[in-house]
Amino acid sequence: MSDHVADEIREMPGEAALPRANGELVFDAPWQGRVLGTAIGVVQGLGLDWDDFRQRLIVAIAADPTRPYYESWTAALESLAADFDLITPDDLRTRAAHIEP
Amino acid sequence: MSGDHHHPVPLSDVERRAKALEELLVEKGIVTTDFIDAVVDAYAHDVGPMNGAKVVARAWVDRAYKERLLADGTAAIAELGFGGAEGDHMVVVENTPSVHNVVVCTLCSCYPWPVLGLPPNWYKSPPYRSRMVREPRALLAEMGCPLPDDVEVRVWDSSAEVRYLVLPERPDGTDRLSEDELAQLVTRDAMIGVVRL
């Protein structure tokens, strides 16, 4: 991950900004860190600009402003994966039903 | 030990979807598990393991604090302002010249978030979880931490009720270092117990 991209993500403004407490990033559970890493990897793997993800994140937050931040993040990643024909909603539903703790 | 202690609540719907996304995107070759691990490591430094390192450094320089830490980990860690979800039942185990402690979660991935940040992926891997109990010496040696035969290995199985933190031995030759400098020496892996400092 290039430092430039890292800074761009760390310093996202407004409602898309990563949750922090006393300046430190806040994750409420391990999966939130994993989904953060997955999204960054997909953006880089597809050669996209970070803004391609950020715009989806803003839309996802606006669609349900009360849900936790990383749930919107997950929804944004789902929409990105669907738009690029990587994962269909059916694929995702099927796999999610079989995830073991 | 009952598995119920590890999973008081089932996976949430969003947790399943997030995990499914990761698996499918890795399978399609869009992203690798190593890459995600690296990102998690990088971002984890924003939440820890520096909190845990500060706890260890304080224990090294302040004998009374160390006694409180070993007697009641949760309370002593809270003295430094750390705690909360996933870290409210902390037990700290001390390494000595004759005892080495290592932490595992045999059934899932219980981990002291507030002091260590995000868990590394290997902590959740089935081989780590099973072998650390069955053959800790062999696994520790493979992970770069060979132990002399006369050092006793104690393996602690984390659960939702108790999270363990290893208090590593203070390295030799560090008498002149400040508490902040000492904290810089303390690594996440040392506090899980898979390396000695």
| Domain shared by B22 and B86, yes or no | no
Q: What is the pTM of this model?
A: 0.58
Give me the number of domains chain B comprises.
2
Instruction: State whether A101 and B7 contact (CB < 8 Å).
Output: yes
Beta strand spans in B63-196 (E): 90-94, 99-104, 152-157, 163-167
| Domain shared by B31 and B121, yes or no | no
Q: Can you tell me the distance from the alpha carbon of A5 to that of B10, in angstroms, rounded to the nearest whole number?
A: 35
Q: Which pLDDT band holds residue A11 (cuts at 50, 70, 90)?
A: low
Out of B39, B85, B109, closest to residue A41 by CB: B39
Q: Give me the mean pLDDT over the B150-160 stretch.
A: 92
CA B118 to chain CA centroid, Å, is: 9
| Domain shared by B68 and B110, yes or no | yes
Instruction: State whether B43 and A37 contact (CB < 8 Å).
Output: yes
Instruction: State whether B119 and A30 contact (CB < 8 Å).
Output: yes
Q: Can you tell me the distance from the alpha carbon of A36 to that of B38, in angstroms, rounded to the nearest whole number?
A: 11
Residue B3 has pLDDT above 50, yes or no: no
| Domain shared by B16 and B101, yes or no | no
Q: Which residues of B touch A92 (CB under 8 A)?
A: 17, 20-21, 24
Give me the number of domains chain A comprises.
1
CATH number assigned to the domain comprising residue A35: 1.10.472
Instruction: State whether B30 and A86 contact (CB < 8 Å).
Output: yes
State which residues form the domain around A62. Answer: 3-97
Torsion on CA atoms B135, B106, B81, B68, rounded to nearest 10: -60
State which residues form the domain around B143. Answer: 49-192
| Domain shared by B103 and B167, yes or no | yes
For the question of an ipTM over 0.85, the answer is yes
More confident call, B161 vs B22: B22
Whether residue B14 is contained in a domain is answered as yes
pLDDT digits (tens, 9 = 90+) for B26-36: 999 999 999 99
Q: Which residues of A touch B24 (CB under 8 A)?
A: 81, 86-87, 91-92, 95
Q: Measured on CA atoms in the order A4, A75, A27, B132, is the torsion positive or negative?
A: negative
| Domain shared by B17 and B55, yes or no | no
- Write down the pLDDT at residue B122: 82
